[in-house]
Amino acid sequence: MAGVADGVAWQELIADELAREPVVVVRDLVAREARGQPTRAQLNAALRAANRYAASGRAVIVRVPSDAANRARVLTLVRTGETPPIASRGPRRGRARSDLVIARGLVRTVDGVVPAARLIDPAKIAPEEARSLAASLDDPIEELVRLHVWLTARGRED
């Protein structure tokens, strides 16, 4: 069967999990299914399935910075229409991140989005979908503008 590693239909598992929970951490889902440490093949198959599932518009991918030293980011799927729970990952181990580190990470993330945004031809998107997408961007863009204004003002101090 296509997209199946070790006989597991990852897209079906992801769909079932998102039907129960608004947020799915893909690595945790794979570890649960593997009943322990997942293999690289299982992780890769699940990550590909998660990307395909998100491409269908039924979920949004959110890459959350990891607490573990061996992983840069945790791939998380958020059911469409849900707000990702930013602070729900539990207590952070180790040294707390400073606001500067968080802001730099945010800037890197936004910088990474710019090339993708430039690839989009709005004329190829149906008006109804365009309205929906624009509405989905309203709050995040408003928050980014607020942060930009605050940082600009802070940079003028001294």
User: Does residue 23 contact residue 82 with C-beta atoms inside 8 Å?
Assistant: yes
More confident of the two residues 65 and 45: 45
Interstrand relation of 59-65 and 73-79 (parallel, antiparallel or unpaired): antiparallel
Q: What is the pLDDT of residues 49-66, one digit of tens each?
A: 988 888 888 888 877 766
Q: Of 101 and 47, which is predicted with more confidence?
A: 47
Per-residue pLDDT at 83: 47
Residues 80 and 128 in one domain: no
Q: Do 112 and 84 share a structural domain?
A: no
Indicate if the pLDDT at residue 5 is higher than 80. no
Within 13 A of 76's CA, how many CA atoms are on the CB side? 20
Element (H, E) at 59: strand 59-65
Residues 30 and 60 grouped into a single domain: yes
Q: 3 pLDDT exceeds 70?
A: no
pLDDT at 138 over 60: yes
Domain boundary among 91, 120, 140: 91
Q: Which of 50, 76, 91 is the last residue of a domain?
A: 91
| 87 and 101 co-located in one domain | no
Residues 42 and 56 occupy one common structural domain: yes
Give the structural domain span for 149. 97-158
Rounded to the nearest integer, the mean pLDDT of the chain is: 78
CB within 8 A of 77, min separation 6: which ones?
Answer: 14, 18, 23, 24, 26, 50, 53, 54, 59, 60, 61, 62
Q: How many domains does the chain have?
A: 2
Pick the closest to residue 15 from 44, 42, 52 (CA basis): 52
pTM score of the predicted model: 0.47
CATH number at residue 79: 1.10.10
pLDDT band at 158 (very low <50, low <70, confident <90, very high): confident
78 and 118 assigned to the same domain: no
* 16 and 66 together in one domain: yes
Same domain for 87 and 103: no
Instruction: Collect all residues with Cβ–Cβ distance below 8 Å to 110 and sequence separation of at least 6.
Output: 144
**Is the same domain home to 30 and 48?**
yes
Higher pLDDT pick, 22 / 13: 13
pLDDT digits (tens, 9 = 90+) for 81-94: 654 444 444 444 55
Asked which of 91, 110, 136 is the last residue of a domain, the reply is 91
Q: Does 52 share its domain with 105?
A: no
Same domain for 70 and 106?
no
pLDDT of residue 61: 82
pLDDT-derived band at 128 (thresholds 50, 70, 90) equals: very high
Distances (CA, A) of 35 to 1, 67, 143: 22, 22, 40
pLDDT of 54 reads 85
Q: Are residues 108 and 57 in the same domain?
A: no
Q: What is the DSSP letter of 57?
A: T
Question: Would you state the structure tokens that stand for residue 142, as one six-digit string?
Answer: 């408003």
